Structure 1
Amino acid sequence: MTNDQDNGLSRPQRRLLKRLYNARAIPVIADGRPFLTYKDAVRHLLSLATDQRDAAYAEMKAHARDKAR
């Protein structure tokens, strides 16, 4: 996936997602769906409208944070 395809996400969002999904063994749940790879997560986020995208991104971020504890 190139940066041209990631235009719907900001650079900090892409960087955080790459860190969240780096060598992940337990999927992150967002919108009731499990995501194990960065590419799957970005593909899903880019398929959503902006408001829904922001909500799903926040859900991924919160889920990863909660599971890290």
Structure 2
Amino acid sequence: MTEEDSPSISRPQRRLLRRIYNGRTVPIIADGRPFLTYKDASQYLQSLAPEARDAVYAQMKGEEQ
């Protein structure tokens, strides 16, 4: 298994997700699902294939307010 195929998200992605979801009261909708906490978002991202993970992460990042 290469780093590219790893099921974990990168450190910069984890840091941004923590910042996005810290104290959030309105969920972020990504991939048709609502995410209110960092834990829910990171678990979902880790369950995806690398290409899908990048697409959903981009949606979450774009929804940041």
TM range (shorter): 0.7 to 0.9
Which TM-score applies when normalising by structure 1? 0.82
Which TM-score applies when normalising by structure 2? 0.87
Structure 2 residue aligned with 1:9: 9
Runs of 4+ in 1 over 4 A off after TM superposition: none
SS in 2 for 1:15: helix
How far the C-alpha of 1:20 sits from its partner, in A, is 0.3
Residue by residue, what CA displacement relative to the aligned partner does 1:10-32 show, whole Å, maximum 9, x if unpaired?
Answer: 11000000000000001011100
Where does the alignment leave 5 or more consecutive residues of structure 1 unmatched?
1-6
Map 1:1-69; keep pairs closer than 5 Å. Answer: 8-64=8-64, 68=65
Structure possessing the higher relative contact order (Cα contacts under 8 Å, 6 or more residues apart): 2
SS in 1 for 2:45: helix
CA-atom RMSD in angstroms: 0.9
> What is the percentage of aligned positions where both structures have the same residue?
63
CA distance in 2, matches of 1:40, 1:54: 16
